[in-house]
Amino acid sequence: MEPSKKEALDKKWHAIVLKALSDEEFKIKLVKDPANIMIENGLNIPEGCKVGTTSNNTVGLQLPPNASDAIKEEATWWKWRLEMTHNFGKDEGKKPSLASGGAPLMDTTPEM
């Protein structure tokens, strides 16, 4: 993918993520319908691709027959972002375990 195209996609994606972090209602919509929310917020699916849902309810893109390498690269970019939205917020509310270093964070800034 051309660097300028990737930069433009990433910029729009970052704006979506920032909005989801600050707007719970938007985040819920993004998780429930990621492709349409991403499209509504300025991202376009690669030419000839179709949005679909897999049997385990994850959203993905179907490539057109004989897709070019550029289309495949852009579809891969979308795949990663769609997977992120599927997992977005999944771990919220889980309590830290000892195995994951569940000790509370401590401020180690020296006192003055």
DSSP string, 38-92: HHHTT--PPTT-EEEE-TTS-EEEEPPTT--HHHHHHHHHHHHHHHHHHHTTTTT
Asked whether residue 45 carries a pLDDT value surpassing 50, the answer given is yes
Averaged pLDDT, 24-31: 92
Residue 91's pLDDT band, with cuts at 50, 70 and 90, is low
pTM of the complete model:
0.72
Structure tokens at 68: 């070019």
